Structure 1
Amino acid sequence: MAVQSSTTHVPSTNKPHTHFFVWREFVWGAIAGAFGEGMMHPIDTIKTRIQSQAILSASQNQKSIIQMVKTVWVADGLRGFYRGITPGVTGSLATGATYFGVIESTKKWIEESHPGLGGHWAHFIAGALGDTLGSFVYVPCEVMKQRMQVQGTPRSWSSVIMKDNISLKPSMPMYGYYTGIFQAACSIWKEQGLKGLYAGYWSTLARDVPFAGLMVMSYEALKDVTEYGRQKWIPNSNWHVNSSLEGLLLGGLAGGFSAYLTTPLDVIKTRLQVQGSTTRYNGWFDAIHNIWKTEGTKGLFRGSIPRITWYIPASALTFMAVEFLRDHFNDHTQVASLLVDKKESSLQKVA
């Protein structure tokens, strides 16, 4: 009887570990997302400025990457590259948490309840769903971040909005200078309401849903290819790639590939969010039509190099951080549950 009571008690002690593991994915994702954003924010600032030149200047002589770096440095110094980092990190915390937290649970649910959608489709759907949920926090942060990025310092922003070629409506002045995330949120809410904070929301989803799905699917596919190559070329070896290193390399490749394919969607999103009350583009379709008409393919892929340059290391660092945290903080839980399972099976044999 004592043995039977022990076996019935073991499963109940195992449940908290499972739930804690899921919540831990949210925490690891948040930390990893914020880490990647914080490290690569200066490159994102250059990308945002390059993509928004058509909004802030009527000139068709767009600056190159090197020219833009020099412009930011001369006008604003080092501080200019880190404008908008607070809302950027805040948005990445939310996106990273939902992205990785939802991915793990969604992948398992899809593979178990809908076997036909298993494999890469499960990874795509999980990534898209995770990013969609994070968008409710991410988009307002992205609007604030990008407007702060193009503003630079108060002096440089004042010189921009005083130019005649900015095409402002007399009754709708350009938004004022944002001193921080809270002042930016209050200012946008006061001037444009909820619509202002969620400017470009659908264009953000149009960019991020395929991007998130593609990145997870590419990452998992690259892991499968790596494992296949290992089994084929060194089948009898105990050699194993460190998961953190694997996350660094494969995450970077997956992020760069997905970033390039979704660059046109990123250009549209950036311009809709930066324009404020200038209303140069009346929605997603009007933006893509006008960009294609006036700037062609080059305009749609404007900022692709800094975007890829940002996403390769950012994705690499994010996946590396997640794999590292999983290895160092999840192993003891998995080992504990394995020991419980072994103990349970031995007790059942005795019974």
Structure 2
Amino acid sequence: MASGKKEKPLHSLFAGSTAGAVEANSFVNYPFDYIKTRAQFEGKRESPIAIVKDTIKTKGISGLYSGCMALVVGNAAKAGVRFLTYDHFKHLLADDKGKVTAPRSLVAGLGAGMAEAIFAVTPSETIKTKLIDDAKRSNPQYRGLIHGTTQIIKNEGITGIYRGLFPVMMRQGANSAVRFTTYSSIKAFVQGNARPGQQLPASITFGIGAVAGLVTTYVTMPLDVIKTRMQSLEARTKYKNSFHCAYKTYTEDGLLRFWAGTTPRLARLILSGGITFSVYENVMALIAEKKED
């Protein structure tokens, strides 16, 4: 993430994809996403503990990993596209000295988020959400990632896996803009107080990424709730569009429902931010070392 030079596209893509796969495949991390998604569906409000108890009681421990493979595949693609496009936009927006101001970093992050929403996030998130929604039923109709994806496309067409594209684009654009800007700003401050040329240790990188995840969670939570509801199994008959979904959520459930699932998402994004940025930085460092050998 150094601002003084442009990372090679393939290096950014490889490092980002690796970081995304590692983060999504974390044994500890995924259940937070599962709990967050369950908490955002319609119906009675469930606490994170109640969701865990009900899932384990009816589906066993494996139930907490419903839709996991969709997220692993999607996260690898998402992170690859995110870092690739962010590095590209950041280079285009850098000044003569290679420095990128916070507002320009915000624009680069927004562009990266939009790109990942279109090419990776919407399909994987839609499939993951439908698998989780289906798994909580007494008689699930989907038998895993491949069968679920096939049935969704068969019954709803290709638009079935692109449901909720608008709120996903808004969420991912805001996610990346806030996360990258927060991360870059804090990292620049920390590096400004370090010795010239000194690489930040993994623990510091993890901490900066975790703080970026914390800020991102509270800023973008309403968009995440709308995204989840637009991708649920009932969305086709329940909502006309994202704005209608937001209106019904507000009028039927109240303003605070837009922050449903905040606790598990907060835990996930803190871990996600720390893991993703740490892995990305270390993979890029390893690539740089190999080039010098």
After TM superposition, the score normalised by the length of structure 1 is 0.75
Between Structure 1 and Structure 2, which shows a larger proportion of helix residues?
Answer: 1
Counterpart position of 1:46:
35
Counterpart position of 1:173:
none
Q: Is the 8 A contact 1:21 1:330 kept in 2?
A: no
Q: Name the CA distance, whole Å, in 2 between partners of 1:197 and 1:97.
A: 20
1:332 Cα deviation (Å)?
A: 4.1
Counterpart position of 1:208:
172
Q: Percent identity?
A: 24
Deviates more, 1:195-204 or 1:120-129: 120-129
1:239 Cα deviation (Å)?
A: 10
Letter aligned with residue 194 of structure 1: I
Counterpart position of 1:110:
93
Q: Name the CA distance, whole Å, in 2 between partners of 1:67 and 1:194.
A: 35
Q: Name the CA distance, whole Å, in 2 between partners of 1:225 and 1:238.
A: 13
Counterpart position of 1:37:
24
Counterpart position of 1:248:
206
Letter aligned with residue 52 of structure 2: V
The reply to whether residue 320 of structure 1 matches residue 278 of structure 2 is: yes
Within 5 Å, which residues of 2 pair with 1:229-248? 230=193, 240=198, 242-248=200-206
- Indicate the structure (1 or 2) with the bigger Cα radius of gyration: 1
Counterpart position of 2:154:
190
Q: Name the CA distance, whole Å, in 2 between partners of 1:246 and 1:310.
A: 18
Structure 1 runs not aligned, ≥5 long: 1-17, 160-175, 232-236, 337-351
Within 5 Å, which residues of 2 pair with 1:192-341? 192-228=156-192, 230=193, 240=198, 242-276=200-234, 279-333=237-291, 335=292
Q: Name the CA distance, whole Å, in 2 between partners of 1:20 and 1:322.
A: 12
Letter aligned with residue 94 of structure 1: A
After TM superposition, the score normalised by the length of structure 2 is 0.90
The reply to whether residue 133 of structure 1 matches residue 115 of structure 2 is: yes
Q: Name the CA distance, whole Å, in 1 between partners of 2:40 and 2:146.
A: 25
The one of 134, 140, 149 equivalent to 1:151 is: 134
1:158 Cα deviation (Å)?
A: 2.9
1:94 Cα deviation (Å)?
A: 1.1
Within 5 Å, which residues of 2 pair with 1:52-71? 52=41, 54=42, 57=43, 60=44, 62-71=45-54
Give the count of matched residue pairs. Answer: 286
Letter aligned with residue 150 of structure 1: D
Q: Name the CA distance, whole Å, in 2 between partners of 1:99 and 1:187.
A: 29
Q: Is the 8 A contact 1:264 1:301 kept in 2?
A: yes
